């Protein structure tokens, strides 16, 4: 099976712009989670989707949003970008989102200037 | 809120020695604890996990122990090799939350 894929792999934006990141899960996986990874902070949970429904979200401002499509592909959007949003954004997929292995994508590295 | 603390942040060991990384979680209802390894420039990958009804689990040179009373779990790597050099993350989740809380990571360096 193909692994989790994310597009684009790299992005450079300026403050105030918005960005949309995409994640395609492993075939058959219906849960997609998003994480922000920054040096020293580890992986911080953004949100989780299953069957097009957000089941949980982390402590991020409302500028961070996401959605999931009927084919389980997911997108996350960040509006009004700030310098502090520069990070590696990882998505992870699993079959159900319950206590099971999460398979990570390669990430999208976002740089906000 | 939920929290997972991970120590140490960096760890250097000589090849062949053992390495131990410890994590403490705050939610006593947490019931699943995975460990991920992230090599430089790569994606995190699961190396071992443990559920709350088990106290210890081993897979070749890697083992994880869980102490539910103290709310901490540890990763043990024996006979370390240079290819074990990476950042290791612990995580915890609670059934029904669909949310994994990760530790801040441990950078392990295995010196040849």
Q: In this predicted model, what pLDDT tens digit does every residue of B27-64 receive, in sequence order?
A: 999 999 999 999 999 999 999 999 999 999 999 999 99
Under the banding of pLDDT at 50, 70 and 90, the label for residue B2 is confident
By C-alpha distance, the chain B residue nearest A96 is B98
Q: Residue B46 and residue A102: Cβ atoms within 8 Å?
A: yes
Mutate to test the interface with B, among A24, A25, A43 (most CBs of B within 10 A): A43
Asked if B103's CB is within 8 angstroms of A106's CB, the reply is no
What are B92's strand-pairing partners?
A: B101
| Beta-carbon separation of B95 and A99 below 8 A | yes
C-beta of residue B36 within 8 angstroms of C-beta of residue B47: yes
Shortest distance, CA B97 to any CA of chain A (angstroms): 7
Contacts of B43 in chain A (CB under 8 A): 4, 90, 104-107
Q: Which residue positions in chain A have pLDDT lower than 70? A: none
Measured CA to CA, the distance from residue B7 to residue B102 in angstroms comes to 12
**pLDDT per residue over A65-92, tens digit each?**
999 999 999 999 999 999 999 999 999 9
Please tell me the distance from the alpha carbon of residue B52 to that of residue B29, in angstroms, as a whole number.
Answer: 9
Residue B1 has pLDDT above 80, yes or no: no
């Amino acid at each position: 099976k193909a692994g989790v894929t994310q597009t684009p792999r790299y992005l450079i934006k300026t403050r105030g712009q918005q960005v949309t990141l995409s994640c395609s899960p492993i075939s058959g996986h219906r849960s997609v989670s998003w994480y922000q990874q920054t040096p020293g902070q580890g992986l911080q949970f953004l949100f989780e989707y299953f069957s097009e429904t957000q089941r949980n979200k982390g402590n991020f401002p409302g500028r961070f949003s996401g959605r999931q499509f009927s084919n389980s592909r997911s997108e996350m959007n960040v509006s009004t970008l700030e310098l502090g949003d520069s990070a590696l954004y990882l998505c992870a997929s699993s079959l159900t989102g319950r206590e099971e292995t999460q398979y990570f994508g390669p990430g999208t590295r976002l740089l906000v200037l | 809120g939920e929290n997972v603390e991970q120590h140490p942040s960096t760890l250097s060991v000589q090849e062949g020695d053992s390495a131990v990384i410890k994590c403490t979680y705050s939610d006593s209802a947490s019931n699943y604890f995975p460990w991920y390894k992230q090599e430089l420039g790569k994606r995190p990958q699961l190396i071992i996990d443990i559920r709350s009804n088990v106290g210890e689990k081993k897979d070749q040179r890697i083992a994880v122990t869980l102490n539910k009373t103290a709310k901490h779990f540890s990763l043990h790597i024996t006979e370390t090799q240079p290819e074990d050099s990476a950042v290791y993350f612990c995580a915890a989740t609670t059934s029904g939350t669909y949310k994994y809380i990760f530790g801040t990571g441990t950078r392990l360096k295995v010196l040849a």
